[in-house]
Amino acid sequence: LPEPDSLVLARVTRITSRQAVCSILLVLPDPSSSSSSGVIRQQDVRLTETDKVKVAECFRVGDLVRARVISLGDSRSYFLSTASNELGVVFATASVPGTLRPLDWQTMVDPATGRKERRKVAKPTQ
């Protein structure tokens, strides 16, 4: 099971105006699988300007997100955070079929069509 300060890979399953609900797939760096759920609250998306964050512009259902467990949360799910440069969306599919690639820290682009979509993008790890 994930513990506080663990890195996880999660799939976004539902979006509300205040949070993104996720299914935790892996606990990193040891790829042990998990079947827990997590929540990324609006205030845990970015380090700055947390009151201006629009969760629906940062994540979409189906996105794979690298996040940090910040607490055990409530009885149903862990609280997760993407408030760091290396945390955020690592894989996304476009609203029109296609795979998105990171363009900058808040934009992903479909290389085939050039269509851009807003996300909270994780800085690629080397």
Alpha helices in 1-92 (DSSP H): 55-58
**b/e per residue, 54-64, with b = 16+ CB within 10 A?**
ebeebbbeebb
Average pLDDT over residues 36-45: 92
The chain-wide mean pLDDT, for the chain, equals 87
Task: Tell me the CATH number of domain 6-92, given options 3.40.50.2300, 2.40.50.140, 3.50.40.10, 3.30.300.30.
Answer: 2.40.50.140
Closest-CA residue to 80 (of 19, 1, 14): 19
Predicted pLDDT of residue 32: 65
User: Which position has the higher pLDDT, 13 or 46?
Assistant: 13
Please state the domain extents for the chain. Answer: 6-92
% of the chain residues with pLDDT over 70 = 94
Predicted pLDDT of residue 28: 81
Predicted pLDDT of residue 1: 72
60-112 residue pLDDT tens: 999 999 999 999 877 778 999 999 999 999 998 877 777 888 888 888 998 88
Pairwise CA distance, residues 80 & 110, whole Å: 27
pLDDT > 70? residue 126: no
% of the chain residues with pLDDT over 90 = 49
pTM of the model: 0.85
